[in-house]
Structure 1
Amino acid sequence: MKKRTLLLTGVAAAAIATGAFADGHAPLKVGFVYVGPVGDGGWTYEHDQGRLAVEAHFGDKVETVFQENVPEGADAERAMTQMALQGADLIFTTSFGYMDPTIAVAAKFPDVKFEHATGYKRADNVSTYSARFYEGRAIQGHIAGKMTKTNKIGYIASFPIPEVIRGINSAYLHAKKVNPDVEFSVVWAYTWFDPAKEADAAKALIENGADVILQHTDSTAPQAAAAEAGGVITFGQASDMGEYAPLPRVSSIIDNWAPYYIQRVQAVMDGTWESVDTWDGIGPGMVGIGEITDAVPADVKAEAEAMRDAIAAGEYHPFTGPINKQDGSVWLADGEIASDGDLAGMSFYVEGMTGEIPN
């Protein structure tokens, strides 16, 4: 009989402590720490789909626990510590702000394996993993640049970290390439998940004339705001958000964590787990492009799908020069492709973007 998923509660702790498992052998205990609710419809939802895929794949060989809505900072360190004390063998920490807490807790539990999403600090028992979301942003930017009627595109950003800045730049470059008159307005929400703030940001951008809204926040609130306004298109973030298709949501970036989670759990079981850094995109399947709806003109849809396929095949890189920085200085020469190191530390806007990146 397959063990049901356990929330990180006193009941779960008791079950783990007693070792009462179906086949008499303690399964591998795998923990997940989430920054939002599992029902956010975006980032955390997709990580939890990955957790469920682990359960489905391994059955009684695994026991998963999770804690949702864990703020970045001291609360995250407490949640990770609790999981380790309860016997977790492998813990996935799924938000950038969990980076330092993950490193701190890992040092206290050297026999526990940790996997941190979107960060860059590693240790002997800490791996890092992320997806090349900027590849999907390039496709969204192309569609946005072709479909905007006002030439104003709004972008709801979470925090000014390289991951988010890369996405803004990628979307802008590809919108500008097909529509030289396009303008980007960025609203920094300083949150990953806050439906009220996200809705307010979307409404402000729409009132300012934006008829395309992109987001790097996790709720469907911007989709709802755009649907209410009418005449605005949006893109699903982290998850398909297909309930808003065919309008306002015309496509999406879908994070597919399941294969990675299954692979890393298997590595622990096999005794082959090592600290590695993984950064995969459309080609390996970690980044999916949700259905491009018929609300997108057929020629634009075909162009977007061709770009998707070229990126997947390694024939096109979204950051290929010539590209200048915002101040006009040369970043990439004609035909030059950005290195992963430059992308991982990106802290500047590209030429043509207005406004400043907050500290």
Structure 2
Amino acid sequence: MKKVMKKLAVALSIGIGLNASLMSSSAMAADNNVKVGFVYVSPTGEAGWTYTHDEARLYLEEKFGDKIETSFVENVAEGADAQRVITQMAKSGHDLIFTTSFGYMNPTIKVAKRFPKVKFEHATGYKRAKNVGTYFDRIYEARYLTGVIAGHMSKTDTIGYIGAFPIPEVVRGINAFTLGLQSVKPDAKVKVVWVNSWFDPGKEREAADSLIDQGADVITQHTDSPAPLQAAEAAGIYAIGYHSDMSEYGKTAHLTAAVHNWKEFYAKRVQQVLDGTWQSTDVWRGMDADMTQLAPLSSAIPADVKAKVQSLSAQIAEGKLHPFTGPIVNQQGQEILADGQIMDDNALRKMDYYVAGVEGKLK
């Protein structure tokens, strides 16, 4: 199992009753450096959502050296706990704070009003302020491609999908995956189980086992832990990871993963703080900017399928293919998008329905 070495020189208790502490990894940096903080919803671990953000944090340290000092708090619950953690970071002299979960949106906005000189970046949200920017990657592009792969690899034409919360971000991923799947097998179905948590290995494993019992021979997820992949490995079926390459948790099962790449985006925003040019923006980039990627493809995938996926990836990056291109209909058979039309960003951000082919109801 790959190990990530982190130099954690200072651990500051923030006294908020959480099983987390503020971890500073450049305590000996110069007094005039830029302090960059990260708030994480789950453990840094060795795979998943938070892992990708922490890999980018470590990249910043390598790139900027003693020009910056980074710190993080992991396992921070969304809501009041998040507001207290973000407040503590702002009070302790951080110049730039990345809050990396959807449920941190309102706490970030509230704290930003109290600390107008501190700059904030919120992942996956939509509320901005003069000192609050927002960002995400177009992970739905990779979701579409993983759907194509699942369509070629499934024999039962039944795919299991484990969702965290029924918000537009997650629903958009389910629909993009389904559209990719049905580009290969129009009659294939996607069964969704909601676990109402971003990170809960026990619930994720139970959901995966349930979907396998319902006939799914490929499992994918919008949750943080590798538990679904481990369930697929144990059951002898395929799985598609999320957030990061999860192949080491299921060497036979793992086909690929839809992956986020925050490194260069984070470096750009930190450089802007160093230069005094940072401004609040909304960033939503995908394969064209290398913010969205696919993990290496399994050797189990036939060569012609790999070539097809590589071609589709290039088309998406070049703007020649958009996963949400009509005709698209919802579960009820109502037309959402006419033939040849491309869904705009406003509609993508507000997605609150399943496309045809997804089984179950949105909670």
**Structure 2-normalised TM-score?**
0.93
**Cα displacement string for residues 36-71 of structure 1 (whole angstroms, at most 9, x for unaligned residues):** 000051100010001001111110010111000000
- Say which SS state the counterpart of residue 305 (structure 2) adopts: helix
Could you say which residue in structure 1 is the equivalent of 2:343? Answer: 338
The structural deviation recorded for 1:223 is 0.9
- The residue correspondences of 1:242-253 to structure 2 (distance < 5 A) are 242-244=247-249, 246-253=251-258
The question of whether the paired residues in 2 share the 8 Å contact of 1:253 and 1:289 is answered with yes
- The residue correspondences of 1:101-116 to structure 2 (distance < 5 A) are 101-116=107-122
- The residue correspondences of 1:45-124 to structure 2 (distance < 5 A) are 45-124=51-130
- Say which SS state the counterpart of residue 283 (structure 1) adopts: helix
The structural deviation recorded for 1:246 is 4.6
The 1:269–1:151 alpha-carbon spacing in structure 2 relative to 1, beyond 3 Å, is same
Identical amino acids, percent of aligned pairs = 53
The 1:15–1:207 alpha-carbon spacing in structure 2 relative to 1, beyond 3 Å, is closer
For 1:226 and 1:115, locate their aligned partners in 2 and report how far apart those are by CA, in whole Å: 35
The question of whether the paired residues in 2 share the 8 Å contact of 1:7 and 1:65 is answered with no
For 1:162 and 1:176, locate their aligned partners in 2 and report how far apart those are by CA, in whole Å: 21
Could you say which residue in structure 2 is the equivalent of 1:233? Answer: 238
For 2:42 and 2:9, locate their aligned partners in 1 and report how far apart those are by CA, in whole Å: 18
Matching residue within 153, 160, 164 for 1:154: 160
The question of whether the paired residues in 2 share the 8 Å contact of 1:130 and 1:280 is answered with yes
Query: Is 1:353 matched with 2:358?
Result: yes
The structural deviation recorded for 1:252 is 1.0
For 1:191 and 1:146, locate their aligned partners in 2 and report how far apart those are by CA, in whole Å: 30
The question of whether the paired residues in 2 share the 8 Å contact of 1:245 and 1:293 is answered with no
For 2:345 and 2:213, locate their aligned partners in 1 and report how far apart those are by CA, in whole Å: 37
Q: Which moved more, 1:62-71 or 1:326-335?
A: 326-335
The question of whether the paired residues in 2 share the 8 Å contact of 1:90 and 1:112 is answered with yes
**Cα displacement string for residues 63-104 of structure 1 (whole angstroms, at most 9, x for unaligned residues):** 111000000010000000010111101000000010000001
Could you say which residue in structure 2 is the equivalent of 1:275? Answer: 280
The one-letter code matched in structure 1 to 2:152 is K
The 1:13–1:134 alpha-carbon spacing in structure 2 relative to 1, beyond 3 Å, is closer
The question of whether the paired residues in 2 share the 8 Å contact of 1:7 and 1:67 is answered with no
Query: Is 1:263 matched with 2:258?
Result: no
The question of whether the paired residues in 2 share the 8 Å contact of 1:6 and 1:64 is answered with no
For 2:24 and 2:348, locate their aligned partners in 1 and report how far apart those are by CA, in whole Å: 44
In structure 2, stretches of 5+ residues that fail to align are 1-5, 15-20
For 1:139 and 1:211, locate their aligned partners in 2 and report how far apart those are by CA, in whole Å: 18
Matching residue within 213, 217, 221 for 1:211: 217
Could you say which residue in structure 1 is the equivalent of 2:307? Answer: 302
The question of whether the paired residues in 1 share the 8 Å contact of 2:123 and 2:134 is answered with yes
The 1:101–1:14 alpha-carbon spacing in structure 2 relative to 1, beyond 3 Å, is closer
**Structure 1-normalised TM-score?**
0.94
**Cα displacement string for residues 179-238 of structure 1 (whole angstroms, at most 9, x for unaligned residues):** 1231111000111111111111111100111000010001111111111111x1111210
The question of whether the paired residues in 1 share the 8 Å contact of 2:23 and 2:71 is answered with no
The structural deviation recorded for 1:325 is 2.2
Could you say which residue in structure 1 is the equivalent of 2:188? Answer: 182
Could you say which residue in structure 2 is the equivalent of 1:199? Answer: 205
Give the number of aligned pairs: 352
The structural deviation recorded for 1:327 is 2.1
Query: Is 1:286 matched with 2:306?
Result: no
Could you say which residue in structure 2 is the equivalent of 1:128? Answer: 134
For 2:27 and 2:180, locate their aligned partners in 1 and report how far apart those are by CA, in whole Å: 55
The 1:345–1:188 alpha-carbon spacing in structure 2 relative to 1, beyond 3 Å, is same
The 1:312–1:262 alpha-carbon spacing in structure 2 relative to 1, beyond 3 Å, is same
**Cα displacement string for residues 94-129 of structure 1 (whole angstroms, at most 9, x for unaligned residues):** 000100000011111111000000000000000000
